[in-house]
A and B are shown apart, each in its own frame.
Chain A
Amino acid sequence: MLAQATLPWIVLLPLAGALINGVTGRFTSKKVVTAVALGSVSLAFLFAGINFMELVTQKGAGVADARVEAELYEWFSLHIGQRAIPVRIAFVIDSLSGIMALVVTGIGLLIHIYSLGYMKEDPGFARFLTYLNLFTASMLILILGSSFPVLFVGWEGVGLCSYLLIGFWYKTPEYAAAGRKAFVVNRIGDFGVIFGMLALWVGTQSMEFQGINESVDMLTRPFMLGGVEVGSYATVAAFFLFLGCAGKSAQLPLYVWLPDAMAGPTPVSALIHAATMVTAGVYLCCRLSGVFVLSPTAMATVAVVGALTALLAASVALVQNQMKKILAYSTVSQLGFMFAAVGSGAFAAGFFHVFTHAFFKACLFLGAGAVMHAVHAHGDADVRKLGGMSKHLPTVRWTFLVSCLAIAGVPLFSGFFSKDEILLGALLGTHVHHMGWVTWFVFGSLVLAATMTAFYMFRLYFLTFSGDYRSAAANPEEEAEGGESSHDAHGYDPHPHRPEPAIAWPLRILGVGAVVVGYLGLPHALHLPNLWGDWLHATLASVGGHHGGGEAWIAMAAGTVAMAVGIGVAWQRYANGKGVPGADPEKGVARWMFDAWRIDAAYNRYVVGAMRQLGQFSAAVDRYFVDVILTRVPAGIVRMVGHVTSRAQSGLVYTYGALMVFGVFAVLVWFTSPHPSLEGVAEGNKVTWTARPGAGYEYRWDADGDGEYDGEWSRSQRSLTRTYGPEQFTSYAVHLIGPLKRENTLRIPIDGAKKIVPLSMLSGDWRNPEASTQRPPVIWVEKGTIVLRRNDASTPGLGGEEVTLTPGQRIVLGGVEARFIAQVKTKVEVRNGFGNLRSQTRSLWLKDMTPVKSHAFSNIEAKPLAQMGAHHE
């Protein structure tokens, strides 16, 4: 009960915080802003904890699929035929979203606290906390939303906050551009999410995740595009969704925004671009794991893309010299690990890495931030000017070291456990995508990437913390002067100051987390209880394949060796202030790696350049075509009419009265004259004619079209049914139904004149291949029947050159289905109480007269209509 009552507030509190600070933050004191921001997030954390305990209780009671759901209200409903499917604003906590909610609120809270210290001198302090709160709320909407549309609100919300926070210092053009880049690249991904959502909606007719996962079986049916099968619904949906995930979670080919996103303040990099938002893609894949596992192709793609991203980003991180840049590429690489796991069907392992990564990567970023804060580096810190920080900043050093050990995968630290599970998952991936080479490719790439990870992390660690502080040593004279302005040009502040408690404590807590959270998922090789796997078992799709002993040992050994090699090489090259890189690499592979394989440059040249040209072209079209011809001309016309209509507004009351009189007159005319509005509905040769009712209406009919009324005035005969025969037909036509349901009606003159069936109405294969000339068929009317001379048209089953047909008969004429139809006519006259008369005549084609069975095509012969009717009764 308590859990359900508090559930919506997990989202609403940070939202309210953002709202309050957004409106009043400018005017209130920093204390109030802090209280609102911190208060809302800590309460949200508390409530998330309460809900999580509820889940634990439910699990304890043996409920496999433990969940808490709270509905706020119905948002809108979608209609399929008569069925209305409501889309609710509802939040769900289950084993998956419960963990995410704790991570987002918990780590979010720590980073809020950290920001108090980090941002305290920034003039945009209140704005920053507003955005952070808004981000927390959006992320929670994304996680807790029970249905896809709600998730999408959060998905867009975090994208917006990411944009706002990357460009937080928007006065620097590059930072603003970085924000824009993130936004634009994410749009491409969002397109994928929308299409994926639509595919799932069409496929399962559900927007709720529970509903989608329950009816995944419906997704195995083929998805047709223009008559061609392009895969199952599951494949299509999974591909589009993965495109979205690749955008949000910075995978190939959409990863390019994340390294640039480091332009934002460091707490943002830690919270949004390491711990939470960028893992949303992994979360979505886990949420819809039931859909993904249905498509081996999509799974293999996810795994390969993940592995490639892990490898590529790790290689770039090897040679970078900026602290946050290294960490950014490291994040991209670690996200690649997660997707490789997901693509191999090891959803729990991928999600486990999301969890452990949140701790150690947040800690690393915050540590980097603390270093930058200490040496007054703005934007990013160059490791070449650092060094020796272990003496100046012991707290930061120890927490950073612990996190490095974790991410490198040193046994007993959290990263070891999750990476081990991923490697094992990759080895067992064949069960999912049934492709052996994918398994070995993914596994090999991941081991290589893990080696690089250990290397670049310890390179970063040694360059930053060991040896001596290079900015202090390099500029002794400036140190002596102690000028505040001096460190900008050559080095950083020569006297790094120790972090204040608001910065130090989050680091310590995250450092502890970076060690201990791994014990939730102990290695399979040791046959120890794996709390993590059991916890998520019911929520994630389970994949065949057991955790064999052999593979588990291989994975663990490979991971450990990779780690040892990486750290060893780093130690050997960089420990104790050795091997400080000089200038940026000039050429060769190192330069390519330094430029991130020049993928960005290629995008700029080929994609952005092409887009720019397209944009210029569209602008020209807009300026000269849309603005002038499509806009000004109609707008001028509308405006002119407007002047006319308002010109009647003369201000003279008798003009107004006159118009009213005119109005009353028009109303009276309408009501005093009868309105037959005759309509006919044909059913075979029988037509039911109906005129409209009205007060005091009397009707008389001329149903056979002979020009004379059939009876006297009658009040009751508002409708009339009559069966028509050949003598009442007023005209004939051939109704042709071609391929793609293209319909044509060709009227045949009743006086017997010959009519040519135009080639355009016949399909492409109408020709008779044996004839030398190609003459179209000719049709005419003769004694109540229709005669067709087929000429060179191919008419399967028709013997002679000329055939006599009766109305209603169907033949195939040059690949087109042709039916001979007739038209009938009727007339009604209506009289109302005022004695006013109004008559109306209507003609109707009898489109489905006397149905002919298909076998009749082979033996068509002229028959009177009456006989044919009898034949079919």
Chain B
Amino acid sequence: MLDLIIRFSPLVLVLVGAAAVMLADAFSDKGQSNDLSTVTFWAFVGASGGAIGLWVQGDTMALHPLVAPFLAADPMALLLDAVIAGAGAITALLAGAYLREHQMERGEYYVVMLLAAFGAMVLVHSTHLLSVFVGLETMSLGVYSLAAFRRTSPRSVEGAMKYFLLGSFAAALLLFGMALLYGATGEMELAAIATALVEGSAHNTLALLGTALITAGLAFKVGAVPFHMWSPDVYEGAATSVTAFMAVVVKVAAFTVWVRIAVVALSAANLADPFSGWPPLVMGLAVASMLVGNLSALVQTNVKRMLAYSSIAHAGYIMVGFVAYAHSAAGGDEGAGDQALSAMLLYLASYAASSLLVFGSLIWAGSKGKEVVSYEDLKGLGRRHPWIGVAMMVGALSLMGFPPTAGFIGKYYLFQSAVNVGDGLIPLVIFAVLASAVGAFYYLKLIVVMYMEDQEQEAAQAVPMRSVHLWAAIGLAAYFVFRIGIAPGNYMEIAIGAARAL
């Protein structure tokens, strides 16, 4: 029992944090201000530390048979625990700053956020269709309610409603897909499904349909085109701290579970063939996401909407790594496959850090009464408030993939892993590079607007908020952006280690 608690200490710590926040909120007097965001922050830091500790310890003992089929405590799960908890910690600080400034801080927020993160972490540990679904729904329900957290804003509620409706649709697809896969193989455990499919004892048509529906359901969660429609509305409507959480944690967890299902369960040659299986479909989704995401981001006037579309484009880039993995795995080149997987993981981490930096800077630039959401609000910001300008610029450059930031390293390794596969993927890589060139346009537009344009005289200028929480969050995010960007060596090794162990 104690062994299990230790082995899953990141999850346990997040749960304990949720309980602590709930109790603190329930038993405190009305009007008494509790710094719940700090409690949440430390719970996440603890979880992150636990994950790192477990990684260092490198325990490979078998888990208790009651848990073993459902959850794994492998290096990949631990790495993503650390990423999710780290991102959670930064978003907790952002929420502390944002919610307090805009006077909507309530204890529930942190409880729901911790529980949603718990769901995300269950998801990255899942090795069984049941736990996948439970984790996914735990995460999603939390995120639905977070999206609606700004109750007074019709946009927030509207966005959350759309997210919920379409999310239920996706969940139904996923569940149906899982049921079909179970019907085809008689198994729910990912590894056992793979065995059944490889041995040929599975029912082929059911397996195909199951794969199709699961792919569609997961594509919704990562926000791939054409399952992306919810994201701009939700990103725009939700409180910015929630948007940051969704953009990072949900995407990271959804990609991880997709990778795990595809790599472990659907790895049979007749499903994962790079020309006739799911990889070409993923390639199609990648191309569509890069195309639609980048082109739509180009014409937005609202920065949060722009970031929503750009996150769709980033999902497209990550899927390039996915395709590269499938090609190398089918070619029997394990080294290249691991490299592609690790490039995806590194990209997720660098995307998380850069997004948090940009969202943090957006939050920073506004205060009670006037938030910064559009390009118009950003005009001249870099000259009025140089530190915010620098933070936003670094974040935007990183999302764009400019050295020496994390985004550059992420894109470089990702595209390199695709080039390594051979000539077959060169057109895809060229497309991705062109797409990111289009992306450069709207990220640079942020910088241009901040430094080279002036706000009209009568327009109300946003006043930046002052919050230690926020500065800490910005500092942390900026640290990781540069840490990955300048010295990616050991992060790369950790990611390779995780990919190898999968």
Contact = CB atoms under 8 A, between A and B. Distances in A.
Contacts of B438: 638
A643 interface: yes
A11 to B, nearest CB: 15
A668 B295 contact: no
B370 to A, nearest CB: 25
Nearest to B288: A663
Interface in B280-317: 280-281, 284, 291-292, 295-300, 309
B166 A653 contact: yes
B165 interface: yes
Query: Interface size class for chain A?
Result: 35 or more
Contacts of A85: none
Contacts of A692: 273, 275-276
Interface string B175-213: 000000000000000000000010000101101110111
Contact of A672 (B208, B300, B489): B208
Interface stretch (B30-38, B102-110, B116-124, B219-227): B219-227
B229 A677 contact: no
Contacts of A391: none
Given A642-B296, A645-B292, A663-B227, A656 B208 contact: no
Contacts of A697: 270, 276
Contacts of B295: 638, 641-642, 645-646
A668 B296 contact: no
Contacts of A639: 298-299
A184 B277 CA distance: 56
A630 to B, nearest CB: 14
Contacts of A693: 269-270, 273, 276
Nearest to A835: B205
Contacts of A667: 212-213, 215-216, 219, 281
A668 B162 contact: no
A638 B297 CA distance: 11
Q: Pick from B165, B277, B300, B438 the residue with the most CB of A within 10 Å.
A: B277
Interface string B230-274: 101100000000000000000000000000000000001111010
Contacts of B215: 667
A694 interface: yes
B479 interface: no
A695 B208 contact: yes
Contact of A832 (B208, B281, B487): B208
A659 B270 contact: no
Interface string A834-854: 100000000000000000000
Interface in A139-196: none
A677 B276 contact: yes
Interface string A663-701: 110111011101111000000000000001111110000
A751 interface: no
Contacts of B281: 667, 670-671
B425 interface: no
Contacts of A655: 229
A696 B229 contact: no
B299 A646 contact: yes
A670 B296 contact: no
A670 B233 CA distance: 29
Given A641-B295, A643-B299, A834-B205, A656 B276 contact: no
Contact of A663 (B197, B208, B219, B276): B219
B165 A694 contact: no
A557 interface: no
B415 to A, nearest CB: 14
Nearest to B184: A695
B271 A695 contact: yes
B166 A660 contact: yes
Contacts of A674: 276
A73 B487 contact: yes
A549 interface: no
Q: Pick from A645, A671, A697, A833 the residue with the most CB of B within 10 Å.
A: A671
Nearest to B226: A663
B171 interface: no
Contacts, number: 126
A696 B212 contact: no
Contacts of B298: 638-639, 642
A712 B292 CA distance: 45
A668 B278 CA distance: 11
Nearest to B296: A646
Interface in B306-365: 309
Nearest to B409: A76
Contact of B169 (A651, A657, A671, A672): A657
B162 A653 contact: yes
A397 to B, nearest CB: 49
B296 A660 contact: no
B308 to A, nearest CB: 10
Contact of A695 (B204, B226, B291, B487): B204
A410 B434 CA distance: 67
Give the dominant DSSP class at A's interface: helix
B173 interface: yes
Contacts of B219: 663, 667
B208 A664 contact: no
B226 A651 contact: no
A649 B227 CA distance: 12
B433 to A, nearest CB: 15
Contacts of B202: 695
B408 to A, nearest CB: 12
A582 B165 CA distance: 93
A825 B226 CA distance: 38
A664 B216 contact: yes
Contacts of B270: 693-697
A607 B284 CA distance: 53
Nearest to B173: A664
A74 interface: yes
Given A638-B295, A643-B299, A660-B229, A74 B489 contact: yes
Contacts of B229: 648-649, 655-656, 659-660
Contacts of A659: 226, 229
Contacts of B273: 692-694
Contacts of A73: 487, 489
A833 B205 contact: yes
A204 B211 CA distance: 51
B296 A645 contact: yes
B277 A694 contact: yes
Nearest to A82: B335
A586 B212 CA distance: 90
Interface string B152-170: 0000000001100110011
Nearest to A643: B299
Contacts of B211: 671
A694 B273 CA distance: 7
A662 interface: yes
A677 B208 CA distance: 18
B162 A662 contact: no
Contacts of B275: 675, 677, 692
B374 to A, nearest CB: 15
Contacts of A672: 208-209, 212
A152 to B, nearest CB: 15
Contacts of A833: 204-205, 208
B400 to A, nearest CB: 16
Given A656-B162, A695-B207, A642 B299 contact: yes
Interface in A599-649: 638-639, 641-643, 645-646, 648-649
A354 B434 CA distance: 50
Contacts of A662: 226
Given A642-B295, A660-B220, A660-B227, 16 more contacts: A73-B489, A638-B298, A646-B299, A649-B233, A656-B229, A656-B230, A660-B216, A660-B226, A664-B213, A666-B226, A668-B213, A671-B208, A672-B208, A675-B275, A693-B269, A832-B205
15 contacts: A645-B296, A648-B229, A655-B229, A659-B226, A663-B227, A664-B216, A668-B209, A670-B280, A670-B281, A671-B212, A671-B281, A693-B270, A693-B273, A694-B270, A694-B276
